[in-house]
Structure 1
Amino acid sequence: MSRTTWTHYPARWAMRPLVGTGITANHITWMRIVTGLASCAALAVGTPAAIWWAGGLWLFSAFLDRADGELARLSGTCSEAGQRLDFYSDALVNPLFFLAAGFALRHSWLGEWAIPLGILSCVSLSGCIWAAELLERRMGGTVRAYNGRWGFDPDDALYLLGPLAWLGWLAPLLIGASLGATVVMVLTFLRLYQASRQVVRVGS
């Protein structure tokens, strides 16, 4: 993930006043986890009011996901433990949004397909996250699993989930995620397999 996307700048500006205070990057990460899980819980309820709350909490959680790293860099407190906590927060919260969307849509026109699509999207996105992490580790940090363009990273798309929920577009979002995330997961695992074989050949 890049550190200079458009979404990093407002997070950096917002975190500057916290440098030198008792608030640490890990505190921000835990706030991101709590607000993200609260958003997923509200979304799963599926009522209009709950979905509005879910969208707002999700936007705040996505902002905090950028802010924790910015605070760590500004305060010079970057650590491997903090990076691992940030990774695990993403691996937990982001896939759960789609599982929650499946429950939210269980009474929609998707009917009995809603929850299975939510599960598929959740599992596939989780697979993408873990495969990407393993791929980047296998390549020694010299290769990024997913490259961004025009000042945006692929995971900046997470900011769109809240507004899409407000607009009532959860169903097409879930269908798209179940297809897209599954394809990306398979392709990423194929890249990981190829990278592993290259490492074995070089080692031998």
Structure 2
Amino acid sequence: MSTNTVIHRIVRPAVRAVAPTGVTPNHITTLRLATGMAAAAAFAVGGPLWPAIGGAIFVLSMLLDRADGELARQTGQSSPGGYWYDIISDCASNVMAMIGIGIGLQEVLGLWGPLLGLVAGVGIGTLFWQLFGLRLAQPRGWEPSPGIIIDPDDALILVPILVWIGAAVPMIAAAAVVTPLAALWLGLRGSRPDLAP
């Protein structure tokens, strides 16, 4: 993954300001996990207001996701334990968000809402394990123009945007299809060298 994405650049000035205060990367990771849980809880309440609030909290959580690693690099506090705490917190936050969105959609989709949220969450969790635990692939950033780098997980910014514009139902349905298929493809590719690009 890149360390110079658009989101990294957004959080960099705030991280520079926090660096001399004694706040550690693990403090920020813990805050990332707490905001991820809060976003999931807000999504799960459903209705018109709470998912919008959950989307705002999710954006904050994404910014904190980038800030912890940025702080670790700026202050020389990188460690294997911190890396894994970050990865597990990121994965848990994203999985919980999908499940929360699905639960919140129960009033619209009935039991299909939580089921789709669960399938999307399991798909995301599986992808995280494949990428970071099994290291079946190295996620690479996309550079649409010089100096603008977007990592694959930056696409999660679409989650709150789609919730805000009222497209949570097609988003959770698509996530419930795409994430398991991506995990299946990555698993097959990782287990069969002849499928590698």
TM value normalised by structure 1? 0.87
**How far off its partner does 1:194 sit?**
2.8
Match of 1:133 in 2: 132
CA contact (8 A) 1:43 1:100 kept: yes
**How far off its partner does 1:20 sit?**
2.0
Cα deviation digits, residues 146-167 of structure 1 (max 9, x gap): 3221210110011221222111
Match of 2:140 in 1: 147
What runs of 5+ residues in structure 2 fail to find an aligned partner?
144-148
Inter-partner Cα distance in structure 2 for 1:61 and 1:71: 15
Match of 1:201 in 2: none
**How far off its partner does 1:49 sit?**
1.8
Match of 1:116 in 2: 115
Q: Name the SS of the counterpart of 2:3 in structure 1.
A: coil
The number of residue pairs the alignment matches comes to 189
Task: Give the greater-gyration-radius structure (CA).
Answer: 1
Say if 2:186 is the partner of 1:188.
yes
TM value normalised by structure 2? 0.90
Match of 1:177 in 2: 175
Inter-partner Cα distance in structure 2 for 1:93 and 1:123: 12
2:152 is aligned with what amino acid? P
What runs of 5+ residues in structure 1 fail to find an aligned partner?
196-204
Displacement over 2 Å in runs of 4+:
none
Match of 1:30 in 2: 30
Map 1:22-171 → 2, pairs under 5 A:
22-108=22-108, 110-136=109-135, 144=138, 146-150=139-143, 151-171=149-169
Q: Name the SS of the counterpart of 1:185 in structure 2.
A: helix
Match of 2:146 in 1: none
Q: Name the SS of the counterpart of 2:106 in structure 1.
A: coil
Root-mean-square deviation over aligned CA pairs? 1.6
Inter-partner Cα distance in structure 2 for 1:77 and 1:106: 43
Identity across matched positions, percent = 36
